[in-house]
Copies of this chain bind each other. A is one copy, B any other.
Amino acid sequence: MALFIGTHENKIDRKGRVSLPADYRAELPSEDDRTIYIFPSLYTSALEACDRAQLALHAERINALDQFSQEEAYFSSQILAEARKLGIDGDGRIVLPGEFMERAQLDGKALFVGGGPKFHIWQPEAYAAHRHETQEALAGRTLPSLTRPSS
């Protein structure tokens, strides 16, 4: 499984190109699968990105819901319908669709924030504020162990 960690602030050029941090690139599966998947995060202004395996897991979770149910429709429209496949060019860059840049209020700079199997792309100041908020709200929490055996 990919492990995206750390934060990196990179420039977005006028064509919407940004270098994917080298650390992150190194975590991606194989050389021939030079793609990532990205979609607007459900409850923040950030963008969420992951590799194909992780997106397939999302699709599987959604598919495990009842077929033709409203829940299925919701997650499908919010995640799968919004997701884009982004190619990584020979120089390690991706092109952010304009729509996504607006959604995340990105202009000129992108902050990559590692989150294990996924990572987020934030407008730098927005992340600072978000980080401060969750820090305030949840400081002191403990993390539950896994209760079921990992298959």
A108: interface (CB < 8 Å): no
- Contact (Cβ within 8 A) B64 A117: no
Docked CA distance A8–B101 (Å): 18
Partner of A71, one of B135, B138, B147: B138
Instruction: Check if A16 is an interface residue, CB within 8 A of chain B.
Output: no
Interface SS majority for chain A: mixed
The oligomer's copy count stands at: 2
A contact residues, range: 35 or more
The interface residues of chain B lying within 8 Å CB-to-CB of A42 are 68
CA distance A114 to B81 in the complex (A): 5
Q: Can you offer 17 A-B residue contacts whose CB atoms are under 8 A?
A: A1-B56, A3-B52, A3-B59, A5-B37, A5-B83, A6-B81, A6-B82, A43-B140, A57-B146, A64-B144, A70-B134, A70-B138, A71-B138, A80-B115, A81-B113, A81-B131, A83-B114
